[in-house]
Amino acid sequence: MKRIHIIYSGRVHGVGFRFTAVDLAIKNNLTGWVKNTLDGKVEIVVEGEETELDQYLTAIESIMKIYIREKSIYCESATGEFVDFRIEY
């Protein structure tokens, strides 16, 4: 298990980014959360097996590529604290 903390910037608010992130996480059996930040970015914390995490990142960046200008990715140790994947407010 692995945890990835991602911050996307660009035109990522109001384009369905969070809903896409949730849908893809569920399809890849991942847990965690996604939220819009006050400074106009989208933040994701996601946990799962490395293969599924790679598929998730590839899919979200492919689907949302026209909206993403920059990304920051931090790899961390999984904590197992999540039971699902949801939108945080």
Q: Locate all alpha helices (DSSP H) within 9-86, ordered by sequence.
A: 17-27, 50-63
Phi, psi (rounded to 5 degrees) for 72: -125, 130
Residues classed as catalytic: 18, 36
How many helices, marked H, and strands, marked E, lie in the chain?
2, 5
